[in-house]
Amino acid sequence: MIRKIILRALVVLAILVAGVLILASMRPDTFRVARSTSIAAPPEKIFAILNDFRTAPSWSPYETRDPAMKRSYSGPESGLGAVYEFEGNRAVGAGRLEITQSTPNEKVTMTLDMVKPFDAHNLVEYTLEPQGDSTTVTWAMSGRSPFLAKVVSLFIDCDEMVGKDFEAGLANLKALAEK
């Protein structure tokens, strides 16, 4: 009797695991998270902030998660080739950002190579669109979704989780640029 119960439980567990793996395999191979806001400031003012990693502590939501975070900068002070490396607590992780495209007053593109808490290689883009007396700023991140990330995405809404950070960062950027 106990053997039958255990056997049935194992069969049910195997079916659940197989179902999760099948669902995960059907998820997209890439992801994109994006949020936008309108800022009452000209594109050139916002671009100057986004194009210089040294301004990040004044607006990025990731900068406040570890006051003891180690930061280093290399390459040019801003623009194409500027590099920002960071190492922080579990909430921040460790990684490297490099500006790979810098189109004045329009767009800043970066590669984000995370080392901790997990290995990831993503593209980060900030686009600026003038709208009369304001500028629409879009913060987007895209990249590959390895199989483990697909499994996790069945249980955690990564767009919502990362999107909240982007929304907070854009609100901070708005406050800074509108001063």
| pLDDT 10s digits, 80-110 | 999 999 999 988 899 999 999 999 999 999 9
pLDDT on residue 4: 83
pLDDT on residue 17: 74
User: What pTM did the predictor assign?
Assistant: 0.84
Range from 62-76, 109-123, 127-141, 156-170 carrying the lowest mean pLDDT: 156-170
Q: How many CB atoms lie within 10 A of CB 10?
A: 10
- Percent of the chain's residues with pLDDT above 70: 94
Torsion of CA 62, 66, 70, 76, to 10 degrees: 20
Q: pLDDT tens-digit profile of 53-76?
A: 999 999 999 888 888 899 999 999
Q: How many CB atoms lie within 10 A of CB 116?
A: 13
Residues 6+ apart with CB under 8 A from 96: 83, 84, 85, 86, 112, 113, 115
Higher local confidence (pLDDT), 58 or 2: 58
The 3-state DSSP class for residue 58 equals helix
Mean pLDDT score of the chain, rounded to an integer? 89
Nearest Cα residue to 175 out of 49, 33, 35: 49
Range from 4-13, 14-23, 44-53, 134-143 carrying the lowest mean pLDDT: 14-23
What residue has token string 């053997």?
3
Q: pLDDT tens-digit profile of 19-50?
A: 666 776 767 777 899 999 999 999 999 999 99
